[in-house]
């Protein structure tokens, strides 16, 4: 399931923490924009999101140090939440 891949649980907080910021930044869009709470609502990556992913993939493949920075940032976040 997608929730497993993203390490998310089915919970309304996930919408506020993950989906809502991505929509606000224009990185993803709704399939039914006029009805955000539709049970048939789905999301897709926008053109801006595709460009963003391309840049991230390009930077991480051409800069091994970028991966180290991501790992250090994740570790610091984990320690701060403990």
Same domain, 67 and 34: no
User: How far, CA to CA in Å, does 64 sit from each of 7, 46, 50, 67, 69?
Assistant: 25, 27, 22, 6, 9
pLDDT recorded at residue 1 = 44
Domain that holds residue 59: 47-82
Same domain, 57 and 28: no
Tally of domains in the chain: 2
pLDDT string in tens for the chain (82-residue length): 455 566 666 667 878 888 999 999 999 999 999 998 899 999 999 999 999 999 988 888 876 665 565 565 566 556 655 5
Same domain, 22 and 56: no
The C-alpha atoms of residue 1 and residue 76 are separated, in whole angstroms, by 28
pLDDT recorded at residue 23 = 95
Same domain, 61 and 22: no
């Amino acid at each position: 399931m997608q929730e497993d891949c993203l390490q998310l649980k089915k919970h309304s907080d996930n919408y506020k923490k993950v989906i809502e910021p991505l929509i606000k930044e224009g990185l993803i869009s709704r399939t039914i924009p006029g009805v955000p709470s539709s049970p048939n609502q789905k999301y897709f990556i926008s053109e801006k999101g595709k460009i963003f992913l391309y840049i991230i993939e390009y930077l991480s493949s051409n800069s091994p140090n970028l991966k180290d920075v991501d790992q250090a940032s994740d570790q610091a976040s984990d320690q701060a939440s403990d």
